Amino acid sequence: MTAIDAGQAMGDAAASRSVERQSRRRPRWLRGPALVGVVVMAAWLIVALTLPLWTPHDPLDPVAARLLGPRASHWMGTDALGRDVFTRTLWGARTSLPIAAAVIASAVIVGTIVGALAGFFGGWLDAVFMRLVDITMAFPPILLAMAITASLGPGIRNALIAMALVWWPIYARLLRAQVIAVRQREFIESAWAIGASRWLILRRYILPMSYTPILVNATMDFGQVVLLTASLSFIGLGARPPSPEWGSMITEGALNPYAWWMAAAPGIAIVTVVLAFNFVGDALRDSFDIKETVR
Amino acid sequence: MSWSATDAATGGPDPRTPILAIDDLRVTFASSSGPVPAVRGVSLDVYPGEAVAIVGESGSGKSVTMLALLGLLRNATVTGAARYRGTNLIGLDPATLRTIRGAKVAMIFQDPMTSLNPVLTIGRQLSLVMRSHQPGLSKRDAANRAVSLLDQVAISQPKRRCDSYPHELSGGMRQRVMIAMAIANNPDVLIADEPTTALDVTVQAQIMELLGELRIEHNLALILITHDLGVVAGAADRVAVMYAGRVAETGPVGPLFADPGHPYTRGLLECLPRLDERHDIQVAIPGVPATPQSLPPGCPFSPRCSFVEPRCSEAEPMLAAHGETMAACVVRTEVPA
């Protein structure tokens, strides 16, 4: 850059250079625990997707003597039926992760629709929706999920439905608060003045500005849903044996207290997943908060 | 400034039919301490291609009047009429009003820093504005027109700027983008609510010049809401001075500045610092502005007025001729000009 066309050209070049640098570098929040979290999440995802191609043993068939302790051939030992615990734990991810994703997705979708409509239109619609939210949130989530699953009949599909029913009000309330806050902003008023339709304003102006806390919460909640799925299975309302699921594996482990590895393996799996999502969620929240305060 | 009062007479297909006729507009807000009459009977005709300035202190009702006629006020009772080409905008159903608002009567706001959607690029926002009024417009055409609009409002490298987000632009540039959005659908009336208040003085002049050029180019009727009399003198053909929710005085800008009828207008003009006189202390109008909650009986300006007479508190004065202007003052208008 020569000194002659300093002014604008320089400014533009500097701007584009800094944009380039930012996009090439790794995002600022992705460090420390968050980086660990992302790596763990990615590892579990790869396991869940590719496991059938390289599974060490069959998760359902007895492959060795019963209740063998951890050893080179069976890293986490075998269970009461002689199945490989390590294999079953890996397979558990293929149950827990899709379920958690489905629960979060449906809760976010329902919560978004309800929260956006309630916050945007207000009035009786808001009152009806929010009382519904209040009623749902008045129950402890695990109790309500248990009650719903029990009444629908135990099973992984009903557990999923129950958890989605328990979880959507959180997102509805979150989004409603955001929508109400964003609705007051001046660029919304100027959008009205320019004659934008309600639908356009809600979809293009309000929702994109309201989504940050939903994103953070959904990340954090993913771990919680994994935990809740395991809890429901633990008390026999989720996955039924013999399917490899972390909660029901812990139940089996609890029946064989001297075979500590039977409960420890799925327990460790749950801990890693929950922690990973919490780390990432935390970092995302911090990163978004900083942006807000700078502005 | 490159434009003057004479432009108005030549512009427009039929300059004698007002394009926007505000008639006895009243706005009342409900509050916990009873109704608050923010606008109390404002009448104002705006002709095609002319620039009208509405001047007044904060709370005089100048912005509220304009927001009311566009249906942008919530929790307010609006009565009276505001006819755009004969269609009364007050009480018009929201769907029809939306086709006029933004397309025929556009408004730009005071603070360009907060008036743009931070998550959409400039080009996307301009396209959305156009396509929401012209559903037939293709995305490609809208994008091309966005570039030419940015060019019209004198933004350099308009093609590149279309991909910029609002935070990448300066205040002046953002106000130019706001103006581009406002003229995107070729409106007849452009309401500018203190368009330069949030900007640097040098940028202010550029924006005013741009508005003036666009007014002539597109034969826009420009309604300029401001408290800056300097802006008024340079940019407006006619002025309406508002006080306490009513028009205190209205008239062509020259006579109104030369021989103001209403004592309030006089007071405002005396407050202006002048280059040819030395002021050690800046003159101010004594007292505080009347608020809608506590209006004095009769003329709302009477407690602060140096011409006050006992009859001022008898009834609220109506607009009456004072020279070439119309003033709402019983004392000053009976004096032969």
Q: Is the Cβ pair B115, A8 closer than 8 Å?
A: no
Q: Is B261 among the domain residues?
A: yes
Q: Residues B195, B81: one domain?
A: yes
Q: Among B150, B169, B184, identify where a domain stops.
A: B184
Q: Would you list the DSSP string of B119-175?
A: TS-HHHHHHHHHHHH-TT--HHHHHHHHHHHHHHTT-SSHHHHTT--GGGS-HHHHH
Q: Residues B14, B55: one domain?
A: yes
Q: Residues B163, B250: one domain?
A: no
Q: Among B238, B270, B302, identify where a domain stops.
A: B270
Q: Is B249 among the domain residues?
A: yes
Which tens digit of pLDDT belongs to each residue from B188-207?
999 999 888 888 888 888 88
CA distance A225 to B1: 66
Side chain identity, residue A6: A
Answer yes or no: are the C-beta atoms of A226 and A245 closer than 8 Å: no
Please report where in the chains the tokens 């949130």 appear, as a residue.
A137
Which tens digit of pLDDT belongs to each residue from A227-273?
999 999 999 898 887 889 999 999 999 999 889 999 999 999 999 99
- Structure ipTM: 0.76
Q: Is the dihedral of CA A185, A186, A187, A188 positive or negative?
A: positive
Q: Would you list the DSSP string of B77-112?
A: EEEEEEEETTEE-TT--HHHHHHHBTTTEEEE-S-T
Burial class (CB in 10 A: 0-12, 13-18, 19+), A268: middle
Give yes or no for B72 touching A (CB within 8 A): yes
Cβ–Cβ pairs < 8 A, chains A and B:
68
Q: Is B100 among the domain residues?
A: yes
Average pLDDT rounded to a whole number, residues A146-175: 93
Q: Is B17 among the domain residues?
A: yes
pLDDT of res. A212: 87
Side chain identity, residue B114: T
Question: Vertex A64, ends A62 and A67: CA angle to 5°?
Answer: 90
Give yes or no for A191 touching B (CB within 8 A): yes
Which residues is B23 bridged to in the sheet?
B81
State yes or no: pLDDT of B279 exceeds 80: no
At A253, phi and psi to the nearest 5? -65, -35
Which tens digit of pLDDT belongs to each residue from A107-153?
999 999 999 999 999 999 999 999 999 999 999 989 999 999 999 99
Which residues is B105 bridged to in the sheet?
B101, B189
pTM over 0.90: no
Q: Is the Cβ pair B182, A194 closer than 8 Å?
A: yes
Q: Is the Cβ pair B128, A8 closer than 8 Å?
A: no
Q: Is the Cβ pair A196, B115 closer than 8 Å?
A: no
Show the domains of chain A with their CATH numbers: 29-294 (1.10.3720.10)
Q: Residues B74, B42: one domain?
A: yes
Q: Is the Cβ pair B109, A12 closer than 8 Å?
A: no
Q: Is B276 among the domain residues?
A: no
DSSP annotation of B199: S
Which tens digit of pLDDT belongs to each residue from A28-72?
778 888 999 999 999 999 999 999 999 998 899 888 888 888 988
Average pLDDT of chain B? 86
**Which CATH number do you get for residue B259?**
3.40.50.300
Q: Is B291 among the domain residues?
A: no
Number of independent structural domains in chain B: 2
Side chain identity, residue A221: D
Q: Residues B178, B207: one domain?
A: no
Distance, in angstroms, between A10 CA and closest chain B CA?
14
Structural domain that includes position B222: 1-104+188-270
Q: Among B270, B289, B319, identify where a domain stops.
A: B270
Which tens digit of pLDDT belongs to each residue from B33-55?
888 899 999 999 999 999 999 99
Which tens digit of pLDDT belongs to each residue from B215-234?
999 999 999 998 888 888 88
Q: Residues B129, B79: one domain?
A: no
